[in-house]
Structures are given as structure tokens and as C-alpha cells.
Amino acid sequence: MEQDIYENKTVNSLILYFSIPAIFSLLVEIMASVVDTAFAGHLLPSPEQREAVYHRIREFRGSKPIFTMDFQNDAEYVGGCIAGGRNYLHINAKGDVEPCVFIHYSKCNIHNTSLLDVLKSPIFMAYHDNQPFHENMLRPCPMLENPEVLRRMVRETDAVNTDYESPESVEHLCDKKIEYAENWKETADRLWRNCARCKDCNQEG
């Protein structure tokens, strides 16, 4: 006669048996969080690397008939941060309307809020009212280069986290960026002060 695999097991051992996947998943999540916190800064370019990209992109512009664009160092050509509806916004798969594809804090969902009302909502108005986030266009981002600004905007507007895969408080996110912002400040200010616009992009300095 075929034996039931659960027949000889106690309730406690069955609970343990079925808990193993959940425990494993929890451990993976904890490890991912530790790695995320410990290595967050290492996934971003160092000031030296970012400066090398800054110069290289400008060299290309001076030697090739194309306008190469650098995501991190070309805010001067778009007047700073473009998020929060100034030039774009992001709608996730669940319909949450976020100021930027990297900023998962919002209180509006496109399924029950018009785009116009989204733009008038607190977090989007905070983006509008706080622009530019820095006068140095090499430090334009409210998260990467000015984490205290994003922290304040999210707190003041009560925007909630809309990252369902990897929920993160604004405190955790912004704490991770403090060191990066501090490290980049000196290089960014020197480059911005000494910007050779006239030479590299034919604008008046």
C-alpha cells in the first residue's frame, strides 16, 4: 500500500519543512539588502571616473560631427533635473506616477488620477518649487547629488514608496547617497567653475 509522505511526520516537523522556502527567501532578501547598503557607492562612478567621462564626452563633441550626451554630466543642456513633470515623469506597471524612473515615491495612480492632477500633487509640486536643486549643473539631482533635498520633499509631501520589488524608505535611500554626494562635490565645483564651454561646445563661457 502506498504510504502518505506526511503520515509519519509531526506537525512541528511539517511546519519546519514548509517554512524552509520562506526562510531561504528571507535570508536572500537580507543578504541583498546588506549588499545594497554596503556596495551602493561602488556601483556609481568615482569622482575620477566621472570626471574622465566628462572630458571624454566633450572631446567626442569637439572631434566628431555628433552631439554625444552624458546622462550624468550634461544637465546644463537641459537646465537641470528634468523629472517631476518638468520634461518627463514615470508611470510604473501598477500605474503609480513617479517623478522619475529612479525615484519611487508618489501618492498618485494613473488609474484614478488625471495627469493634470498628478502634476498638481504635493510631490510633483515640490519638484516644481525646488528647481533647480543646485545652481551647479554638475550637481543637479535631488537624489544623487542633493539627497537631503529628496529626503525633505518626500517627508513634507508624505509620498509613499512605490517600489514593490524592493521597498525602501527615503531615509535608507538618501543615507546611501550622502557619501557619493560629498565625494563628488569638490570635483563638480572645480569643473563647473573652470568650464571651458567656449572651447568644447562653442558657447560663451
Residue 141 is a binding residue for ligand SF4 (CB under 6 A): yes
Contact 158, 123 (CB under 8 A): no
* Residue nearer to ligand SF4 on the CB measure, 103 or 173: 103
Residue choice 142, 146, 157, 162 for contact with ligand SF4 (CB under 6 A): 142
Distances (CA, A) of 65 to 58, 61, 74, 153: 12, 7, 18, 41
Asked if 143 is part of the footprint of ligand SF4 (rule: CB under 6 A), the reply reads yes
Closest-CA residue to 79 (of 143, 153, 148, 131)? 131
C-alpha cell recorded at residue 141: 539631482
Candidates 140, 147, 180, 181; binder of ligand SF4 (CB under 6 A) is 140
CA atoms within 13 A on the CB side of 94: 12
Give the other-Cβ count within 10 Å of 79's Cβ.
13
CB of 18 vs ligand SF4, minimal distance in Å: 42
Considering the complex, state which of residue 141 and residue 173 has its C-beta at the smaller distance from ligand SF4: 141
**In the window 63-102, what residues touch ligand SF4 (CB under 6 A)?**
81-83, 100, 102
Closest CA to 84 of 58, 31, 39, 123: 123
Length of the chain: 205
**With CB under 6 A as the contact rule, which of the stretches 21-29, 36-44, 137-145, 157-165 interacts with ligand SF4?**
137-145
Q: Cβ 183 to ligand SF4, closest distance in Å?
A: 17
Binding residues for ligand SF4, rule: CB under 6 A, are 81-83, 100, 102-103, 140-144
